[in-house]
Structure 1
Amino acid sequence: MQTTPLSDDIKQALSKVTTASITTILLKKGLRNVWMRGTRPIKPSQGRLVGRAFTLRFVPAREDLATPESWGSPISTRAAIEAMPEGAIVVADSMGVTDAGIFGDILCARMAKKKVAGLVTDGVMRDMAGVLATGLPVWCQGAAAPPSVAGLTFVNWQEPIGCGGVAVFPDDVVVVDDDGAVLIPKALVEAVAKEGQEQERLEGWIMSEVERGVPLPGLYPPNDEAKARYASFKEKK
């Protein structure tokens, strides 16, 4: 399955919306389970990234399949990396396994060379110093020395997966920042981008009100009087 490029307008709009705001917007639409558990930035200040999901799926290790020889198979992490498009955010279903690193420095260096935007997994990495040196932004649960085949079998890419307890489909959109990774279903991307900009504008105004000493009741969430003041504020902008 080919990944559909994300438009520059949508990408730029979502890059200004925090993952916290996105979870609130999706909550109002009835979606509660969109934050991928265990997806933490491997270093501070990786920024906020937006991209289409390119999915990878691992299953539990089986001794006849999870072998070093499998790395040369047509269905392998190496082959999947060559299929990754520029700008995608790779989302790997590692089943929460934390004692086998799914990628190391060489694979991450190739991903960086292909201009993959970032990697998100509910698992861990290996060769951490080398991974950091590649400059590839990564969100994961930490590090482990053993290779992936010590605990996982890679089975495919670009199919529905679960990452951190969240269902992720190819071409969904992923936004990552210091709070972790959030999933936006493909059908809701435009709506979230539009509403996200307004949410950030409103919360910026609420913060300015807090800073000047306005009490929270009636302000957050805003009552009719606060909404009228906010509307007046917007008109002056």
Structure 2
Amino acid sequence: MARIDVDLAVKTFSEHGTAAVSDAMDLLGLNGGLERLTRMSGEGTKAGPAYTLGFETVSPGVPAPAAEFIDDVPPGSVVVIANRGRTHCTVWGDILTAVAVRSGLAGTVIDGCCRDLDDIRALGYSVWSLGAYMKSGKNRVRLVTRQEPVEIGDTVVHPGDLVCADGAGAIAVPAAHVTEVTGNVLRVAGMEAAVRVDVAAGTPLREARRLHGYNQMSLRPRKAT
């Protein structure tokens, strides 16, 4: 995937948001939705390459120090943490957030919980998770994979897949399909913009959709190869 494809995709996804990205993926028969994750902090649409991390539980009494990874995450990345939906302990907090802000990361997506939420919000950093809880992950879970594929619900996220997230949640676009999805996002956004213009001018929504092929576009999904 050429660098220009990534830059264009990040810009396009950030401008048009997860709904347009989801519709664009539907046209290819792709899912990518990271279900049940909710925006906890930050604002606006964020997009960037996934930096993936996987955690596992440890037995009581087994030492498991805080995970060391944040200094290695490239600027512009979205940190994707697979904590297997665990809500009894956290894998992200205010200190990680401070470093993420300093390093220019786009945001963090967690299949689990964050803590220090008030401080994270004060820093203006974007986090999506299942919720917030105060219990530390230290000596409860440990980092076992870095930059390997991870499962978030029913979606597998690979390192370098592009993640887009906003107030509606988060979605991951496979790296192999970024160029095609980007083109579809522009098609979807252009069609919807035309519908909005006609509706604002008084055209019935049904007619505006017909004129601009709204339903015809959505009825033409195909299986991605």
TM category, shorter: 0.7 to 0.9
Is contact 1:37-1:122 (8 Å) kept?
no
Aligned to 2:37: 39
Instruction: Normalising by structure 2, report the TM-score.
Output: 0.84
Return the offset for 1:146: 0.5
Distance 1:226 1:191, change over 3 A: closer
Q: Partners of 2:94 and 2:129 in 1: how far apart?
A: 15
Q: Partners of 1:106 and 1:154 in 2: how far apart?
A: 17
Alignment partner of 1:42: what SS? Answer: strand
Q: Spell out the pairing of 1:120-159 with structure 2 (5 A cutoff).
A: 120-149=109-138, 151-159=140-148
Structure 1 residue ranges (4+ consecutive) displaced by more than 6 angstroms after TM superposition: none
Return the offset for 1:219: 4.0
Q: Does 1:48 align with 2:45?
A: yes
Is contact 2:40-2:128 (8 Å) kept?
yes
Q: Partners of 1:209 and 1:218 in 2: how far apart?
A: 9
Gapped runs of 5+ residues in structure 2? Answer: 214-225
Q: Spell out the pairing of 1:210-225 with structure 2 (5 A cutoff).
A: 210-217=199-206, 219-220=208-209, 222=210, 225=211
Q: Partners of 2:58 and 2:175 in 1: how far apart?
A: 31
- Structure number with greater Rg is 1
Distance 1:10 1:54, change over 3 A: same
Aligned to 1:62: 59
Letter aligned with residue 46 of structure 2: L
Is contact 2:23-2:188 (8 Å) kept?
no
Letter aligned with residue 47 of structure 2: V
CA-atom RMSD, angstroms?
A: 2.2
Instruction: Normalising by structure 1, report the TM-score.
Output: 0.80
Return the offset for 1:59: 1.8
Alignment partner of 1:31: what SS? Answer: coil
Distance 1:161 1:5, change over 3 A: farther
Return the offset for 1:13: 2.1
Return the offset for 1:141: 1.9
Equivalent pairs counted in the alignment come to 211
Q: Spell out the pairing of 1:89-108 with structure 2 (5 A cutoff).
A: 89-108=78-97
Query: Percent identical across equivalent pairs?
Result: 27
Q: Larger strand proportion, structure 1 or 2?
A: 2
